[in-house]
Structure 1
């Protein structure tokens, strides 16, 4: 019974880790794009 539970929960834990990585990369991409937009606006003004 313990082996079955472990096999069921292992992919779920991997999905959670991947989900947090994707969220982290999305947030960092949005921050980078926002910083570039601010820099372009600053240059144009």
Structure 2
């Protein structure tokens, strides 16, 4: 039971990391677009 919980935790951690990376990439893309428009 503890093992399955650990596996779930690992999967959740991976999902959070993926989500954070996706968010950072999105913000960077928007920032670059805004910079291009403003410059």
Shorter-chain TM-score bucket reads over 0.9
RMSD: 0.4
**How far off is 1:8 after superposition?**
1.5
Cα distance in 2 for partners of 1:19, 1:37 equals 27
Aligned residues: 39
Cα distance in 1 for partners of 2:26, 2:2 equals 37
- TM-score, length basis structure 2: 0.96
The structure number with the bigger radius of gyration is: 1
- Asked whether 1:34 is paired with 2:8, we answer no
Give 4+ residue runs of structure 1 displaced > 3 Å after superposition. Answer: none
